[in-house]
């Protein structure tokens, strides 16, 4: 571990203090920050555990040094900063807390959804959390939090839940999941299958991002998706490029229903209205496709996202 020399304030010149303030975060490794040196406040006091004396901070430029193999994925979800702290108790057990801050709650949910196992033990902490001891992960607002316990021989689940609850409270308590998730119909939906893909939705650069959920109905499994554009023009451009890619040319592109023959996904039914495009993947039953397209439309209207 690289080590930094921390000087007493009384012994530092103004120039030294400026260097410590502005240059340390720019070093090519996670900066080791004294607890009282940065206005963090993300890590709570927890009874029976010594609060960390140091917090390690990673930026988009240095994240790869902490999670080298996964850094690119996190960066694609508008990662802003990671703070890592380790708590110890008198038995030398430790709990490591990682707090990832992303640009928006949607991006935080997105990276969480990419790592969330469908069959985990889900708990009502933050917007949503799950435990697979010795790990507890949860998302709240624009934070994705991971908690690991080491050498905790008894009550691991209790320890993890205690830490998760305290950290979640410190980050603002319970926050809702992204509003658009409520637009996926509940009928047939596989619980906790919702995901957000931040870039290259369906593998296509012209579909910049989208939400998905997995379904099973009438002995068929399929995927529903919702794409949120910035405005009408953005949606029209995405749809135009998609139609060009699938060679589904029309004289006029306007709001309404479309069926495209995608070389990678087969026949896709979708609908465009306002700044939203939604559709169905891997479902050949036309009546069932129409049913789910209408259900999404109704939920978008109920959420006042479209008229």
Task: Supply 98's token pair.
Answer: 């990682």
Beta bridge partners of 195: 212
Residue 62 in contact with residue 74, Cβ under 8 Å? no
Q: For residues 51, 63, 177 and 294, what is the CA-based torsion angle, rounded to 10 degrees? A: -170
CA 280 – CA 270 distance, rounded (Å): 6
Rg (alpha carbons) of the chain, rounded to whole number:
23
Determine the pLDDT at residue 103.
96
DSSP string, the chain: --------GGG--HHHHHHHHHTGGGSSS-EEEETTTS----S--BTTBBPPSEEEEE-TTTGGGTSGGGHHHHHHTTEEEEEEEEEE-TTS-EEEEEEEEESSHHHHHHHHHHH--TTSEEE-SSSEEEEETTEEEEEETTEEEEEEEES--S-HHHHHHHHHHHHHHHTTS--PPPGGGGGS-STTBPTT--EEE-SSGGG-TTS--EEEEEEEETTEEEEEEEEE-SSHHHHHHHHHHHHHHTT---S---SEEEEEEETTTEEEEEEEETTEEEEEES---HHHHHHHHHHHHHHHHHTTS--
Determine the pLDDT at residue 35.
38
**Mean pLDDT, contiguous 10-residue spans, the chain (307 residues):** 33 34 37 41 92 92 94 97 95 94 97 90 91 92 95 87 95 88 96 95 96 96 97 96 91 92 95 97 96 98 95
Determine the pLDDT at residue 40.
55
Determine the pLDDT at residue 19.
31
Determine the pLDDT at residue 11.
37
This prediction has a pTM of 0.84
Determine the pLDDT at residue 229.
96
Distant-in-sequence, close-in-space partners of 68: CB < 8 Å, separation ≥ 6: none
């Amino acid at each position: 571990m690289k080590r930094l020399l921390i000087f007493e304030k009384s012994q530092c010149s103004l120039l030294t203090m400026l260097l410590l303030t502005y240059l340390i975060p720019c070093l090519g490794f996670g900066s080791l920050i004294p607890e009282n040196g940065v206005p963090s406040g993300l890590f709570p006091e927890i009874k029976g555990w010594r609060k960390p004396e140091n917090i390690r901070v990673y930026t988009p430029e240095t994240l790869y040094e902490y999670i080298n193999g996964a850094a690119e994925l996190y960066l694609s979800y508008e990662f802003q900063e990671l703070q890592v702290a380790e708590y110890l108790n008198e038995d030398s057990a430790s709990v490591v807390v990682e707090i990832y801050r992303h640009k928006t709650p949607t991006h935080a949910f997105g990276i969480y959804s990419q790592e969330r196992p469908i069959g985990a033990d889900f708990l009502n902490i933050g917007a949503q959390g799950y435990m697979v001891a010795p790990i507890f992960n949860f998302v709240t607002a624009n934070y994705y939090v991971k908690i690991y316990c080491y050498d905790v021989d008894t009550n691991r689940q209790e320890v993890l839940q205690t830490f998760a609850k305290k950290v979640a409270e410190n980050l603002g308590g319970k926050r809702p999941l992204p509003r658009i998730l409520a637009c996926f119909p509940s009928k047939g939906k596989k619980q906790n299958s919702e995901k957000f893909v931040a870039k290259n939705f369906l593998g296509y650069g012209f579909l910049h991002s989208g939400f998905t959920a997995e379904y099973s109905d009438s002995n068929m499994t399929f995927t529903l998706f919702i794409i949120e554009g910035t405005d009408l023009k953005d949606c029209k451009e995405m749809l135009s490029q998609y139609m060009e890619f699938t060679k589904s040319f029309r004289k006029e592109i306007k709001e309404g229903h479309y069926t495209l023959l995608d070389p990678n996904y087969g026949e896709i039914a979708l609908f465009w209205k306002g700044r939203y495009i939604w559709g169905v993947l891997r479902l050949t039953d036309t009546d069932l496709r129409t049913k789910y397209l209408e259900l999404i439309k109704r939920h978008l209207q109920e959420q006042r996202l479209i008229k």
